[in-house]
């Protein structure tokens, strides 16, 4: 009953998009920095996030991982706020803070009492243009990042398979490189590499400041001008628009790593959302992923885990938002006595079934209801309201498209799902990676993570 009420409430919001975002205000400082403020007065707290449109997509061979490394260095201090003081000041103000790096962006956030917002702005503005990158601190932190790579990728067989699959799928596009960076690049990285990255991308005209909470927009604007408005804009470096080379047949690779079980990962090239109003394929692909996975009655879980018992787990992923191309991937672990070949055949059979018979209206309605409910929960959180705004803005879209996206998903038809399945889930777009487990006792595996969060 409660879930139905949530969905009904969200549907009311969908039919009143102007009302839904009436409390959201957009400004631009004289130095080019964008500010988006969303009022949410349910509690006396505020979330502040600074998003830089700079991620691993902007790196070049030889310095992969520098975006994530610079994220670490941003906590090492300025002349005004020496190393370690940033986090202590936020904690003393009763707040929490962290950061994350992805292929497309790097973001820093604080969540604290609304009256403490000036503390957040002062600290973020200071490290936006006063960061100190000393050779001594760099030497320490690069070792931390290399150890993070060992723990999160090299020693995690499924994450290693994911990394190898992306490297094979994307030949000419920077998505070929992992966010954490290749180990050889990390071993040869210098403090100057990090400093060059900082000077190139950490400018107000390449940043979006998102504030959600118990605030008054004009007061936030005045505060932003006071702290960020003093920072001079810098010429924006030219951004190349890399295009992935056309794949001309199925790719297969085997990854040998210590593990207890084999693992299968299948990735198809797919488009990301570019024009929320005109595009329809990304919405249909999003719905297709929900038909295949997402709940106990979804097709793959029901057929492969419950009925055929060929898989102990199976999943589907698709990212609608990306500055570059996206991918539609399926993964799973076969049960004991079954092989990855058995699992691949079973997954392919389910894909072919959809390509032949399509999906039912009942399946679509269930997926759409789940999507709506998910957004209800997201918008119930100030943090995730800010996350949604930041993700859309740094992807080159507007936060105003959030309601358009939900409307478009609600409008997806069975015929559209059938069309994208037939167009994109084909061998010429497919890369298959298999984990060949090597002996090692007590080895644990973990699913890959798209972004890297700062760990202090």
Q: Provide CB contacts within 8 A for 255, sequence distance 6+.
A: 157, 160, 161, 164, 433, 434, 435, 436
Distance (Å, rounded) from C-alpha 140 to C-alpha 69? 11
Our CA angle for 303, 307, 309, nearest 5°, is 95
Strands 430-438 and 251-258: parallel
Active site residues: 71
Distance (Å, rounded) from C-alpha 171 to C-alpha 48? 37
Whether the Cβ atoms of residue 342 and residue 304 lie closer than 8 Å to each other = no
Distance (Å, rounded) from C-alpha 345 to C-alpha 393? 40
Residue 352, Cβ neighbours under 10 Å: how many? 12
Residue listed under structure tokens 């005045």? 222
The stretches of 256-413 forming alpha helices (DSSP H) are 281-292, 299-300, 340-357, 361-379, 382-394, 401-410
Whether the Cβ atoms of residue 210 and residue 46 lie closer than 8 Å to each other = no
H helix or E strand, kind and range, residue 314: strand 311-318
């Amino acid at each position: 009953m409660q879930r139905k009420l949530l969905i009904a409430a969200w549907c009311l919001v969908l039919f009143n998009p102007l009302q839904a975002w009436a409390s959201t205000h957009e400004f631009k400082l004289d130095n080019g920095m964008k500010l988006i403020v969303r009022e949410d007065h349910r509690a006396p707290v505020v979330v502040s996030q600074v998003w830089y449109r700079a991620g691993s997509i902007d790196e070049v061979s030889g310095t992969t991982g520098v975006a994530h490394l610079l994220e670490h260095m941003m906590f090492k201090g300025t002349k005004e706020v020496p190393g370690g003081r940033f986090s202590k000041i936020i904690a003393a103000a009763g707040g929490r803070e962290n950061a994350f790096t992805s292929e497309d962006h790097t973001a820093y956030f604080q969540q604290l009492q609304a009256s403490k917002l000036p503390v957040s702005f002062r600290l973020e503005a200071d490290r936006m243009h006063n960061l100190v990158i000393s050779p001594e601190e760099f030497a320490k932190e690069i070792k931390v990042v290399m150890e993070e790579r060992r723990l999160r990728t090299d020693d995690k067989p499924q994450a290693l398979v994911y990394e190898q699959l992306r490297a094979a799928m994307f030949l000419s596009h920077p998505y070929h490189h992992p966010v954490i960076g290749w180990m050889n690049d990390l071993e040869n990285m210098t403090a100057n590499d990090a400093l060059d990255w900082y000077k190139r991308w950490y400018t107000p005209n390449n940043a979006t400041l998102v504030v959600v909470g118990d605030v008054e927009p004009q007061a936030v604007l005045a505060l932003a001008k006071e702290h960020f408005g003093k920072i001079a804009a810098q010429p924006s470096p030219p951004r190349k628009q890399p295009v992935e080379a056309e794949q001309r047949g199925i790719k297969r690779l085997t990854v040998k790593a210590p593990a207890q079980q084999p693992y299968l990962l299948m990735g198809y090239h797919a488009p990301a959302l570019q024009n929320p109003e005109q595009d329809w394929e990304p919405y249909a692909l999003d719905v297709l992923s929900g038909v295949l996975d997402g709940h106990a009655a979804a097709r793959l879980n029901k057929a492969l885990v419950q009925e055929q018992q060929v898989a102990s787990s199976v999943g589907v992923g698709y990212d609608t938002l990306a500055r570059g191309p996206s991918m539609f991937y399926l993964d799973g672990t076969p049960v004991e006595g079954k092989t990855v070949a058995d699992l691949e055949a079973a997954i392919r059979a389910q894909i072919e079934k959809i390509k032949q018979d399509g999906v039912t209206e009942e399946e679509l309605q269930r997926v759409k209801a789940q999507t709506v409910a998910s957004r209800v929960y997201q918008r119930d959180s100030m943090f995730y309201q800010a996350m949604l705004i930041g993700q859309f803005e740094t992807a080159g879209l507007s936060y105003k498209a959030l309601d358009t996206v939900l409307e478009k998903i609600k409008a997806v038809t069975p015929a559209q799902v059938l069309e994208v399945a037939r167009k994109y889930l084909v061998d010429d777009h497919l890369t298959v990676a298999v984990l060949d487990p090597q002996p090692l006792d007590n080895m644990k595996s973990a699913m890959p993570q798209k972004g890297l969060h700062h760990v202090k």
